[in-house]
Amino acid sequence: MSITQNKKTSIFALIKQSFSNENFDLTNMSINKAVFLLAIPMMFEMLMESVFALVDLYFVGHLKESAYAIQSVGLTESLLSIIYAICIGISMAATAIVARRIGEKDREKAAQNAAQAITISIIITIILSVLGFIYAKDWLLWMGASEESAEYGYGYTRILLASCVSIMLLFLINGIFRGAGNAAVAMKSLWFGNLINIILCPIMVRGWWIFPEMGLEGAAYSTAIGRSMGVVYQLYYLSKKDSLIQLKLKYFKLQWDMIWNITKIAVPGMVQYMISTCSWVILARIVAQSGGEIGSSGFLTCLRLLVFFILPAWGLSNAASTLVGQNLGDNNPDKAYKSVLATLKYNVIYMAIVTIIFFSMAELLASFFTTDEAIKAVAKEAMYIGAIGFVVYGAGMTLMNAFNGAGDTITPTIINIVGFWLFQIPFAYVMTYHFELGPTGAFIAIPSAEILIAILAFILFKRGKWKQKKV
């Protein structure tokens, strides 16, 4: 067998291994192999997360009131991004702590911390669900939707905000699996949830089989059910004896030392992502106010496509988070550092490919979600401008996740404050209103901010203070 054939066989064997539920000792293998085993399922996991909204957007984009429907889905996703920030903050803490304990070879402590994180998340989610159900229409109006659009779409928003328990647990438990190094289970839970959503969405939106035609609200119900079934899969795996993280009922008894340890990592993590997601929400509002329903629908269509392609990069960068945590737990900061650089290299390559796709296929991608030429024109412009900063964005997100994996969530929070609140939002306002560029001004602010964030992250990463972080 030739050397080339051997390499191909080795790559296919690694891909097959990365999709298995096997428990890996990532600290005792080569950096490239560890990155590969984590990155493949993590990329597919994040890709599957974006599919939920894309499936909704596709089917509701062909309803009679498509502009209202698309805006409702897009603005709801922008609102959910705030909840995602809280989910990611807690899951970030869980990933960092579980990875550190696994690196220390202390599986019981890892499971105990996982149980405590789940308890905290459920308490928070109950509060968010109640508020979301009561104030759904008010949130849409605040986001810039017209009275007619808000009246049309608030049922969709109410259902998804009320079902955010499944969103929270799906993020959190997958963060636990990632910290343990078992990214394949996290990926499969989203595969299962998306399969349910893809089957149910057309049935419930259009009224097939035994279901009545529910239109926009049918998309919300199918998404909520799909996510909930993904959580059922997660819990099923956690109940198995061969799971690396085995939850026991006694672990859910409140342990305040662990709760404090989780909280002091999670709160800056929540703030970190709240800063970035609130910035996106404000950008969506600027576009809605300056470009109307056409501008808003075009931007939100671009945003869904952007998320679809960016989330795999985010998944790849999560490999850096896990490897940093586990290698620091194994007292090997040098390997943690090299793991980040290896992950960064692969992420830059991926984002370069996405850049080419956006510049060459913008028309086709936008057409998949809308037939309105005016909406497509706005979406394409936003895609072209956003793609300018993709490569740097890929590097920046890897570095930010390296800090998070070390348990240093404060440094990325400060970087986000500077990049988003002190730069992106003021810059977007100036470009949109002072220079009268309309929605284009907000589009230009996006890659500009991401480039600044990547530069700041690189400078602080090279200083190496994250290596001394204790969790």
Whether pLDDT at 213 is above 90: no
**When comparing pLDDT for 239 and 30, which is higher?**
30
Q: Angle at Cα 465 formed by Cα 461 and Cα 471, nearest 5°?
A: 110
Nearest to 304 by CA among 60, 51, 101: 51
Q: Which amino acid is at 17?
A: Q
Nearest to 302 by CA among 377, 373, 352: 377
Which of 109-113, 416-420, 456-460 has the weakest average pLDDT? Answer: 109-113
DSSP 201-216: HHHHHHT-TTS---HH
Question: 19-72, pLDDT tens digit by residue?
Answer: 777 777 788 888 988 888 888 888 877 777 667 666 766 776 666 666 666 677
Whether pLDDT at 259 is above 50: yes
C-alpha–C-alpha distance, residues 235 and 357, integer Å:
37
Q: How many residues are there in the chain?
A: 471
Whether pLDDT at 441 is above 90: yes
pLDDT over 70 for what percent of the chain? 93
Q: What confidence score (pLDDT) does residue 386 get? A: 92
Q: What confidence score (pLDDT) does residue 3 get? A: 45
Burial annotation 312-339 (CB, 10 A radius, 16+ → b, else e): bbbbbbbbbbbbbbbbbbbeebebbbeb
Whether pLDDT at 82 is above 80: no
Q: Angle at Cα 5 formed by Cα 34 and Cα 187, nearest 5°?
A: 35
Q: Which residues contact 189 (CB under 8 A, 6 or more apart)?
A: 170, 173, 174, 230, 231, 233, 234, 237
Place of tokens 């897009």: 74
C-alpha–C-alpha distance, residues 226 and 451, integer Å:
36
Question: 293-303, pLDDT tens digit by residue?
Answer: 788 888 888 88
* Average pLDDT of span 74-91: 77
Question: 140-173, pLDDT tens digit by residue?
Answer: 787 677 777 777 777 788 888 888 888 888 888 8
Nearest to 66 by CA among 125, 153, 138: 153
pTM: 0.81
Question: 344-355, pLDDT tens digit by residue?
Answer: 999 999 999 999
Per-residue DSSP letter, 21: -
Give whole-number Cα distances, 212 to 194, 204, 207, 209, 215, in Å: 22, 7, 4, 8, 9
